[in-house]
A and B are shown apart, each in its own frame.
Chain A
């Protein structure tokens, strides 16, 4: 099988440390480190698991993002992908989900033929879960969202269990198709020491521009270490459909939610304090 994994580099909104908030209560984005989007690691594991079951399977990881997103490709190599490609160009900046999915779909088309596209259910920054279904439409593929486990892979179809709000659903879909992977699926295997040794010098063209002689020399000798980096022309994208101009949604305003300290009553676990509170709550008809 040929599988394409979609993975995004995101700010780590989960580990918001003390310095991640400015004194005025707003997010200090510069202080947030970037991580491999958690659901996308699950998607990667799903692909690697298929490769375990069906030897000869070929996995390509695709990411769109700034030069720093090359980290995603290296991480993919460390964990077992066969190829990595970046879509990177300033003109892609400011994309909403519609422009993002158009761009990714153009990149995926360039990777054709493929049997399966897998992505995470959602990214932790935009949190929309829209890119997967939109890519499926652009590529005219059936979609299977919220996949938790691949139960069976047959000649011409794949059977998966989906995790829904109130239960599960088992479905079959023909190849090629697109799946988004739910966070309740198995966690991703860790890096492989040998692969880390092999790929730690993988660099994108942009990174090579500021690299030292050793690195440039190494890449001349081992061209497989160079991460392909595609721009607007490489994927044959219509500039009207990418970046800001291809994005119908616009942010009109942003309001920071400052958690203001209100006048709380401070109590301890003494009988007197707890009884006083319960009586107040009953008196005000909050309980009782």
Chain B
């Protein structure tokens, strides 16, 4: 059957944000194709989990509910997913480009012998003419991803091997409720009939996960610092400005590597992709790996003592100066002028 399928991540009865974003993206593709949207979710104590999934317009939900499925491990999830994918034969399958999705999706692509496009930022449907075969392939997935350090966007397609799979970065697709009362058919997967003992050879001995509490993706304002901030103490200035403006603090990888700021606040290609209303970049040079994660901000202010810093090319306000001088002035004048 023609359908779009989304692999949903879940932990402690909470469906991951990225998965809900994918359901919205999947719904848009399914509507273009005029086909149903399906989803699969594997975890433990999942009774009622459909309430977090149905509103995105999911027609069928495959639920694998077992203590043995949480936390995520590669082999049992791969065994269940490949069984469902072989039986349902969807046209398109989407995964989050997360530590789970990037572990699972390639393994499945190998099992199913199909193509997988990594880290997409745009998904669309379109046609492609294969000149050699003189054949027009209709309704293909256009999986569009930045590559080469963000300097190119490649549109990657796959017409001859089934299904077409893609991983999508967190924070790029918009989450949209389709219908609060959408009727979703639930299919219970007989987990024990599928899984074998050898699917559990890798054992989890310890696990320490911090719910970061940092929500860069949804922050309307981000004050980000780079290596030019110079120290952890100087970062406090940025924290003060961010709090004043009701925003979050972020950083470049160089700032993270130098220990100025925590890893979970890194913005860019290997950090979080953000698109805030306002992005203030202080002491950030603007390497493509950094700009790849923030260039869609509606407004960008760059504070840099180098007038030729590459970030200035994409900034709306370029402040040439020492951030140690500029940031305190921004704090002062905001306090004076804000109502």
Interface residues of A (CB under 8 A from B): 13-14, 16, 21, 26-27, 96-98, 101, 124-134, 136-138, 142-146, 159, 164-174, 177, 247-257, 259-262, 264-269, 271, 273-275, 277-279, 281-282, 286-288
Partner of B333, one of A169, A248, A275: A275
Q: Is the CB of B288 within 8 A of A133?
A: no
B115 in the interface, Cβ–Cβ < 8 Å?
Answer: yes
What's the Cα separation between A259 and B142 when bound, in Å?
24
What's the Cα separation between A278 and B278 when bound, in Å?
12
Which residues of the partner chain A approach B291 to less than 8 Å between Cβ atoms?
259
B219 in the interface, Cβ–Cβ < 8 Å?
Answer: no
Q: Which of B307-339 contact A (CB under 8 A)?
A: 310, 312-322, 325-326, 329-330, 333-334, 336-339
Q: Is the CB of B74 within 8 A of A259?
A: no
B159 in the interface, Cβ–Cβ < 8 Å?
Answer: yes
Q: Is the CB of A256 within 8 A of B322?
A: no
On whether A274 and B319 interact (CB within 8 A), knowing A137-B110, A170-B206, A252-B128, the answer reads yes
Which residues of the partner chain B approach A16 to less than 8 Å between Cβ atoms?
149, 288
Q: Is the CB of A171 within 8 A of B202?
A: yes
Q: Is the CB of B110 within 8 A of A98?
A: yes
* Nearest CB of chain A from residue B23's CB, rounded to whole Å: 20
Q: Is the CB of A251 within 8 A of B155?
A: yes
Ordered by A's residue number, 7 sampled pairs between the chains whose C-beta atoms are within 8 Å are A138-B110, A142-B74, A169-B204, A250-B156, A254-B153, A269-B321, A275-B336
Q: Is the CB of A127 within 8 A of B75?
A: no
Q: Is the CB of A142 within 8 A of B201?
A: yes
Q: Is the CB of A126 within 8 A of B147?
A: yes
Which residues of the partner chain A approach B159 to less than 8 Å between Cβ atoms?
250
Q: Is the CB of B319 within 8 A of A98?
A: no
Which residues of the partner chain B approach A256 to less than 8 Å between Cβ atoms?
151-152
B14 in the interface, Cβ–Cβ < 8 Å?
Answer: no
* Nearest CB of chain B from residue A96's CB, rounded to whole Å: 7
Which residues of the partner chain A approach B175 to less than 8 Å between Cβ atoms?
none
Q: Is the CB of A282 within 8 A of B338?
A: yes
What's the Cα separation between A261 and B300 when bound, in Å?
13
Interface SS of chain B: helix, strand, loop or mixed? mixed
Q: Is the CB of A255 within 8 A of B153?
A: yes
What's the Cα separation between A138 and B111 when bound, in Å?
8
Identity of the chain A residue whose Cβ is nearest the Cβ of B115 in the assembled complex = A248
Q: Is the CB of A171 within 8 A of B149?
A: no
What's the Cα separation between A266 and B151 when bound, in Å?
25
Partner of A277, one of B106, B203, B210, B317: B317
Q: Is the CB of A137 within 8 A of B115?
A: no
* Nearest CB of chain A from residue B25's CB, rounded to whole Å: 19
What's the Cα separation between A120 and B212 when bound, in Å?
26
Q: Is the CB of B317 within 8 A of A169?
A: no
Q: Is the CB of A274 within 8 A of B333?
A: yes
Which residues of the partner chain A approach B105 to less than 8 Å between Cβ atoms?
130
Q: Is the CB of A98 within 8 A of B115?
A: yes
Known: A165-B98, A282-B337. 9 other contacts (CB 8 A): A125-B147, A133-B110, A142-B74, A171-B204, A173-B203, A251-B156, A254-B154, A265-B316, A286-B277
Q: Is the CB of A278 within 8 A of B333?
A: yes
Which of B30-38, B56-64, B116-124, B225-233 is found at the contact surface with chain A?
B116-124
Identity of the chain A residue whose Cβ is nearest the Cβ of B111 in the assembled complex = A137
Partner of A269, one of B151, B298, B317, B319: B319
Q: Is the CB of B115 within 8 A of A164?
A: no
What's the Cα separation between A129 and B152 when bound, in Å?
18
* Nearest CB of chain A from residue B181's CB, rounded to whole Å: 33
Q: Which of B212-263 contact A (CB under 8 A)?
A: 212, 221, 245
Identity of the chain B residue whose Cβ is nearest the Cβ of A245 in the assembled complex = B160
Which residues of the partner chain A approach B128 to less than 8 Å between Cβ atoms?
252
Q: Is the CB of A267 within 8 A of B320?
A: yes
Which residues of the partner chain B approach A128 to less than 8 Å between Cβ atoms?
106, 116, 118-119
Which residues of the partner chain B approach A26 to less than 8 Å between Cβ atoms?
151-152
Identity of the chain B residue whose Cβ is nearest the Cβ of A143 in the assembled complex = B74
Query: Can you list, as one digit per residue, whether each of B261-292 has a CB less than 8 Å from chain A (1) or not (0)?
Result: 00010000100000001100000000010010
Q: Is the CB of A13 within 8 A of B330?
A: no
On whether A145 and B103 interact (CB within 8 A), knowing A13-B148, A248-B114, the answer reads yes
* Nearest CB of chain B from residue A93's CB, rounded to whole Å: 17
* Nearest CB of chain B from residue A257's CB, rounded to whole Å: 6
B197 in the interface, Cβ–Cβ < 8 Å?
Answer: no
* Nearest CB of chain B from residue A15's CB, rounded to whole Å: 10
Partner of A271, one of B299, B301, B329: B329
What's the Cα separation between A255 and B154 when bound, in Å?
6
What's the Cα separation between A131 and B326 when bound, in Å?
46
Which residues of the partner chain A approach B46 to less than 8 Å between Cβ atoms?
none
* Nearest CB of chain B from residue A175's CB, rounded to whole Å: 10
Which residues of the partner chain B approach A262 to less than 8 Å between Cβ atoms?
313-314, 316
* Nearest CB of chain A from residue B195's CB, rounded to whole Å: 14
On whether A249 and B116 interact (CB within 8 A), knowing A136-B107, A166-B264, the answer reads yes
